[in-house]
């Protein structure tokens, strides 16, 4: 359980953020400059808020009113920095042992060998950070933070400096680690795919404020935020399973509670669970099933509701099987197709717009 | 053949002894001062900075004279040391080491400070999140990464000590076997008729010593830089 409620004012920027989460992985999501890093720096104690409270699992780390400000080294908040920040003069083994040796024996909840195995670090132990690839560095950084047996693990865009393949590799390690160890993680990112793949709770930030927070599907589905002047494209998050993979076309078939979806270039094996986000503007609506069309995903459903905006757009929610998809079309189209609740429609999703 | 006479040996040994102790004793203090100047903010910092650099700009004779006033047998500090600890530094080789240490101090601080300032403070933050105290961070992260600067500073100060003249001769005079280091011996020889050849021999020795010290430190600096960057294997 993480409970944060802080304010901090600087010249030209003010942070006034509050969120609560009791999930395994909480994503702080927003553009750069929205205050995400300042927020987790405050949780770690690297930045002192002007006012507010911070508590993790019932342990108060900061409370201005009560004069509590636990020193960084006593907070037991692990931190995986964007640039890794491995100690360049130490081997991987010594880096990993740094926090491990400092942790009190009765507070340790993880074994050295377990972390090495979980993050695949065995072959790297005697190397120095300069000789590691970007992905390896981040794995070591995660391992180092984890071995200090933190009560909370902060990750500040740990994949930002990596290429796509490395991102997928490290993402899978993080997901795996989360399954094996029950340490709560706060994951900072501005990349939707990472947030959708990892997080259970999403805290959406803009200009130093929390504009939305809640379950990943709910927050990512918010189609009303754009109207509030926040640069955020809502969409539907679908929990799916890889049913088949066509290597000739690099096309995966996913099954979800609503039917099947064809998605290109997915980094998961057949049988694995994945989350897919479909942006509202990538969903088109037709009254009859079109023929001779390039769009691969055509799903049948019925309209739940239609919300016309103040501008040219309208948001249409369509129930497909057990899933409700959010679509953004023009108000003109919604009127022309005479979309009303209960109306049977076809939902069209271009495969290339996914992933 | 370039065989050394017993007197020459004595001069070299004394010079090395003075330089060695001056560097050894000023090093911990220089590291502490460099760390303060690089990392801490406190009132009067610029004044403190100027004070540390003073020996660099003052005439060495002035430094020597003040040492004599302060640490001489009848000086306020010298008298205390003599009375309570039985330590006398005036006109002793230990006094020469103090003079040399003070003259080399700003050079040492400067080199170490620069290399501490070049260290990413983010690494120290990372160590804090891993549970390390400030003291531990200093010895496990800051100091190892500042080693190239420590070696450079040590060499500069060592070389400065070997060549120290003005402050030494003013503070501890020019006593054969006690305070007559290489530069003082060379100076003395140039003051006596027929001493030119001997002065030249000692000058060559001074050059050789300096070159050896320079090469040794270059090697140490390169090694420590590679270590700090993690390329030593």
Higher pLDDT, A354 or B229: A354
CA distance A140 to A118: 11
Task: Give the mean pLDDT per block of 10 residues along chain B (233 residues).
Answer: 82 94 95 94 93 93 94 85 84 93 95 94 94 94 93 91 92 91 93 90 91 87 77 49
pLDDT digits (tens, 9 = 90+) for A49-81: 999 999 998 899 999 999 999 999 999 999 999
Question: Span A319-331, mean pLDDT?
Answer: 89
Task: Please choose, from the candidates B84, B75, B97, the residue with its C-alpha nearest in 3D space to the C-alpha of residue B21.
Answer: B97
Residues of A in contact with B145 (CB under 8 A): 88-89
**In sequence order, what DSSP letters do the residues of A245-296 get, joined into one string?**
EETTTTEEEEEETTEEEEEES--S-TT-EEEEEEEGGGEEEESS--SS-S--
Whole-number pLDDT of residue A223? 61
Could you tell me the domains of chain A? 2-220 (3.40.50.300), 235-353 (2.40.50.100)
Q: Would you place residue A23 in the very low, low, confident or very high pLDDT band (cuts 50, 70, 90)? A: confident
The answer to whether residue A221 scores a pLDDT higher than 80 is no
Across the interface, whether the CB atoms of B129 and A131 are under 8 A apart is answered: no
pLDDT given for residue A1 in this prediction: 86
Query: Which residue's structure tokens are 């503070």?
Result: B171
pLDDT in tens, A223-268: 666 656 666 677 788 888 888 888 888 888 999 888 888 988 776 7
Task: Provide the pLDDT for residue B232.
Answer: 47
More confident residue, B222 or A97: A97
Whole-number Å distance between alpha carbons of B163 and B16:
11
- Please indicate whether residue B116 or residue A271 has the higher confidence score (pLDDT): B116
SS (H, E, C) A115-139: HHHHCCCHHHCCCCHHHCCHHHHHH
Over pLDDT 90: what percentage of chain A?
Answer: 38
Collect all residues of chain B within an 8 Å Cβ-Cβ radius of residue A83: 122
Across the interface, of B130, B144, B227, the residue whose CB is closest to A102 is B130
- Report the alpha-carbon distance of residue B63 to residue B166 in Å, rounded: 8
Q: Taking residues A340-352, report their average pLDDT.
A: 91
Which whole number is the average pLDDT over A340-347?
Answer: 92
Q: Rounded to whole angstroms, how far apart are CA atoms B61 and B67?
A: 10
Write the ipTM. Answer: 0.82
> What digits encode the pLDDT tens for the residues A128-160?
999 898 889 999 999 999 999 999 999 999 888
- Which residue(s) pair with B214 in the sheet? none
Chain-chain contact of B122 with A85 (C-beta, under 8 angstroms): yes
**Taking an 8 Å Cβ-Cβ cutoff, which residues of chain B contact chain A?**
120, 122-123, 125-133, 136, 140-141, 144-145, 227-233
Handedness of CA B135, B138, B143, B149 (dihedral sign): negative
What pLDDT score does B233 carry? 43
d(CA B231, CA A127): 10
Closest residue to B230, CB basis, from A45, A89, A145: A89
Measured between alpha carbons, how far is B33 from B116 in angstroms, rounded to an integer? 11
Q: Which CATH superfamily is domain B6-229 in?
A: MetI-like (1.10.3720.10)
Contact indicator for B160, B206 with CB cutoff of 8 Å? no
Pick the closest to residue B2 from B191, B136, B195, B203 (CA basis). B203
Reference A151, options A260, A258, A74, A253; nearest CA is A74
> Which pLDDT belongs to residue A353?
84
* Average pLDDT score, chain A: 88
d(CA A25, CA A196): 11
Mean of the pLDDT values across residues A88-103?
93
pLDDT value for A273 = 83
Q: Which residues from chain B sit within 8 angstroms of residue A128, using beta carbons?
A: 230-233
């Amino acid at each position: 359980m993480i409970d944060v409620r802080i304010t901090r004012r600087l010249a030209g920027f003010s942070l006034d953020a509050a969120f609560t989460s009791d999930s395994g992985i909480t994503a702080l999501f927003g553009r750069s400059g929205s205050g995400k890093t300042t927020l987790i720096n405050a949780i770690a104690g690297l930045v002192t808020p002007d006012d507010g409270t911070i508590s993790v699992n019932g342990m108060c780390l900061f409370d201005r009113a009560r004069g509590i400000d636990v020193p960084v080294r006593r907070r037991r908040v692990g931190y995986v920095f964007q640039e890794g920040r491995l100690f360049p003069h130490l081997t991987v083994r010594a880096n990993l042992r740094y926090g491990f040796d400092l942790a009190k024996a009765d507070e340790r909840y993880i074994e050295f060998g377990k972390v090495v195995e979980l993050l695949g670090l065995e072959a790297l132990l005697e190397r120095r950070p300069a000789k590691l690839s970007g992905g390896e560095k981040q794995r070591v950084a995660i391992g180092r933070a984890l071995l200090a047996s933190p009560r909370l693990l902060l990750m500040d865009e740990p994949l930002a400096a990596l290429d796509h393949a490395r991102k997928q590799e490290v993402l899978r390690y993080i997901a795996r680690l989360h399954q094996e160890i029950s340490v709560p993680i706060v994951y900072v990112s501005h990349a939707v795919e990472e947030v959708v793949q990892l997080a259970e709770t999403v805290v959406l930030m803009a200009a130093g404020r929390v504009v939305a927070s809640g379950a990943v599907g709910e927050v990512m589905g918010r189609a009303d935020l754009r109207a509030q002047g926040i640069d955020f494209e809502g969409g539907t998050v679908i929990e799916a399973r890889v049913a088949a993979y066509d290597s000739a076309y690099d096309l995966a078939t996913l099954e979800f509670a609503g039917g099947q979806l064809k998605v290109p270039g997915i980094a998961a094996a057949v049988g694995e669970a994945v989350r897919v986000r479909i942006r509202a503007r990538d969903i088109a609506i037709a009254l009859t099933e079109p023929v001779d069309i390039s769009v691969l995903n055509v799903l049948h459903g019925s309209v739940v509701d239609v919300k016309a905006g103040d501008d040219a757009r309208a948001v249409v929610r369509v129930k497909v099987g057990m899933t409700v998809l959010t679509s953004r079309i023009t108000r003109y189209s919604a009127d022309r197709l005479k979309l009303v609740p209960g109306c049977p429609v076809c939902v069209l999703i271009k495969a290339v717009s996914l992933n | 053949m370039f065989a050394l006479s017993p007197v020459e040996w004595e001069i070299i040994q004394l010079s090395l002894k003075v330089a060695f102790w001056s560097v050894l004793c000023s090093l911990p203090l220089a590291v502490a001062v460099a760390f303060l100047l690089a990392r801490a903010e406190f009132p009067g910092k610029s004044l403190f900075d100027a004070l540390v650099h003073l020996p660099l700009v003052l005439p060495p004779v002035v430094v020597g004279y003040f040492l004599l006033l302060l640490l001489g047998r009848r000086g306020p500090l010298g008298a205390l040391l003599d009375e309570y600890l039985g330590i006398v530094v005036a006109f002793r080789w230990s006094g020469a080491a103090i003079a040399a240490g003070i003259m080399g101090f700003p050079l040492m601080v400067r080199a170490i400070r620069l290399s501490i300032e070049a260290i990413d403070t983010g690494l120290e933050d990372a160590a804090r999140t891993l549970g390390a105290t400030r003291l531990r961070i200093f010895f496990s992260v800051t100091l190892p990464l500042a080693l190239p600067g420590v070696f450079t500073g040590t060499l500069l100060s060592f070389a400065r000590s070997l060549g120290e003249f003005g402050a030494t001769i003013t503070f501890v005079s020019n006593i054969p076997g006690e305070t007559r280091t290489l530069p003082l011996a060379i100076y003395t020889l140039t003051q006596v008729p027929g001493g030119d050849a001997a002065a030249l021999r000692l000058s060559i020795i001074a050059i050789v010593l300096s070159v050896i010290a320079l090469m040794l430190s270059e090697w140490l600096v390169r090694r420590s830089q590679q270590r700090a960057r993690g390329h030593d294997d």
